[in-house]
């Protein structure tokens, strides 16, 4: 039966096949299911998704966008309908408005927002390409969302077939050994001595139409 563990497995399967759009869709589904467990009181999907992601930047950041201050960095792009010139979308807004909604509705990903194949190419770096109106994230974004689902205490007891794993800094984390282990993950992150840099992209907002 489809559920969080199924979506985690399918995301990794699609990733291994080179289907980054499919992998991102399933990663969003795994994250969605987890957010419902964490915040059943929030009925509005957008608010629940973005709030849950913001609450887990400490997991998402090291996995998907290391060394960037995600709380204070805002992205000069139109990510949702009705966005005002004064709005400053953070990464939660961008992932929801561009990736979650696009894949959830079966639409094509807008040009300039395609994932960059870092993990796909087995490189150790994490890429980011941003300009006025476009933001290309690393395909590690997929694993940032999956990590939130896997590490959530709400998902203790779930299982995927043996061998499925996440990784951080070259260290393999077997998923069935890591369900619900957020505190242990944070100890692992601390060993990497990541920095926390705010990207100041404010000047680009004036060029958005």
Q: Does residue 71 register a pLDDT over 90?
A: yes
Q: Give the confidence band of 1 by pLDDT, cuts at 50, 70, 90.
A: very low
Q: Where are the alpha helices (DSSP H) in the chain?
A: 4-16, 20-38, 45-55, 57-64, 91-94, 101-104, 140-151, 175-178, 182-190, 202-205
Confidence band of 103 (pLDDT split at 50, 70, 90): confident
Closest CA to 27 of 181, 183, 148: 148
CA 203 to chain centre: 26
pLDDT of amino acid 105: 64
pTM of the model: 0.96
């Amino acid at each position: 039966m489809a559920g969080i563990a199924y979506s985690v497995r399918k995301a990794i399967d699609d990733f291994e096949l080179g289907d980054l759009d499919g992998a991102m869709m399933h990663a969003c589904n795994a994250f969605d299911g987890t957010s419902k467990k964490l915040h059943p009181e929030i009925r509005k999907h957008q608010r629940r998704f973005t709030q849950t992601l913001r609450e887990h930047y400490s997991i998402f950041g090291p996995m998907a966008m290391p060394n960037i201050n995600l709380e204070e960095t805002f992205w000069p792009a139109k990510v949702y309908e009705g966005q005002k010139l004064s709005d400053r979308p953070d990464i939660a807004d961008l992932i929801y408005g561009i990736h979650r909604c696009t894949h959830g509705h079966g639409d094509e990903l807008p040009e300039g927002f395609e994932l960059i194949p870092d993990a796909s190419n087995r490189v150790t770096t994490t890429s980011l390409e941003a300009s006025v109106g476009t933001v290309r994230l690393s395909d590690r974004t997929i694993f940032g969302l999956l990590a939130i689902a896997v590490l959530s205490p709400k998902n203790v007891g779930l299982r995927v077939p043996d061998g499925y794993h996440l990784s951080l800094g070259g260290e393999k984390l077997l998923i069935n050994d890591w369900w619900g282990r957020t505190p242990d993950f944070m100890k692992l992150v601390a060993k990497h001595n990541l920095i926390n840099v705010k990207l100041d992209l404010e000047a680009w907002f004036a060029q958005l139409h």
